[in-house]
Amino acid sequence: MDKTDMAVLLLRSRETDLEKEWLKELNRRKIPVIVLINVEEQRPIRNRLLTEEESGVVIAPVMADKGPTEAIIPAVIDKTPAAPITLVQIEKEPEATLTFYQAEQLAAEIKEMFGLTPLLINAKTGQGLELFWDELVGQHRFLEKESSICGDLVRAGDSVLLVMPQDIQAPKGRLILPQVQTIRELLDRQCLVQCVTAENVSIALKQMKRPPHLIITDSQLFAQIAAIKPEESLLTSFSVLFSRYKGDIEAFLEGAKILKKLPPNAEILIAEACTHRPLQEDIGRVKLPRLLKQKLGSEIKLVITAGADFPQDLGGFDLIIHCGGCMFNRRHVMSRVARAKEQDVPITNYGIAIAALTGILDQIVY
């Protein structure tokens, strides 16, 4: 569930102990969930024994001649085509199929226990998906609007300068994902965007009639850009912006405070989200470790993980430094933050840590 933004739970028998455990865990993790109850009894909905108000059940018209799963999954893909879908089959033999009356009783029980209003469907008779589609699309749109990369740092008409080094780590012929996503958001918000490489920052600033409202740089260039930026221009980095967009900015700021208090033999976990093949001067495997040893001493111990190799047991670490998480959804990054908090291990991210190590954390915005 670490990666799950939203769940759809299908109930189709009277035996629901396992499904209720799933609902407890989904609620604990604050993951939105849509509960569906498949009804096998073939009779009109108007013959239900409980009214909708009495049972707390919403009935929606499903695709005929298909089983529950075959009816639901194509609809999910059709309504949210960009959303990755993982189907988890609970392996058990249903005790019995549900009549409308039994389904309504189960729905009332689910509502009382979890505060959720299930949708009743009937995959065989063709009743079932319209309200489910509406709920699914509504949840998906809510998730999309939940946060933005630049937050309240910019308004329409603001000039934004993006400093994007095209070094050996940059993919040939294209930009990296955080840069593309940030540019797209700024354009959507009607900002005036100019992109330059590190060596052209001074030239760009001289050619501008007015200083840019905001400068977004690669975190490794923080010290260089802070030294030459106009006083009135705000400064941040892609990684810092993603620390709020994908993670918990307050937790990351608190974690950065630990850097100056670490013992000489501190053990630090550097966690990469992606599994790219590292080249020369890789930020997570070369540049950040070098900066940490320069600022904290050569005796510190560094453990570097990538992709899914994030440890379950974090007890041996004094600090975790996570990447911006551009290849993860926010839920995945937040699950790692939660794990760190549960085990009382401070956590920060690349951009925040680099700003703190270079002494300019109080000069950046987020």
Residue ranges per structural domain of the chain: 7-145, 159-241, 249-363
Q: pLDDT category, 47, cuts 50, 70, 90?
A: very low
Count of helices and strands (H, E) across the chain: 13, 12
CB atoms within 10 A of CB 142: 11
Which has the minimum average pLDDT: 57-61, 100-104, 255-259, 334-338?
57-61
Percent of the chain with pLDDT over 70: 81
Domain spanning 159-241: which CATH class is it, in words? alpha beta
For domain 249-363, give the CATH number.
Answer: 3.40.50.11410
Domains 159-241 and 249-363 share a fold: yes
Spell out the residues 6+ positions from residue 93 whose beta carbon is closer than 8 angstroms to its own.
none
Q: Identify whether the C-beta of residue 166 lies closer than 8 Å to the C-beta of residue 197.
A: yes
Q: Identify whether the C-beta of residue 179 lies closer than 8 Å to the C-beta of residue 165.
A: no
Position 68 scores a pLDDT of 53
Q: What does 106-143 look like in DSSP terms, one character per residue?
A: HHHHHHHHHS---EEEBTTTTB--HHHHHHHHHHHHHH
Phi, psi of 197 (to 5 degrees): -85, 170
Rounded to 10 deg, the angle between the 249-257 and 330-342 helix axes is 40
Computed over every residue of the chain, the mean pLDDT equals 84
The rounded distance, in Å, linking the Cα atoms of 290 and 278 is: 15
pLDDT in tens, 192-227: 999 999 999 999 999 999 999 999 999 999 999 999
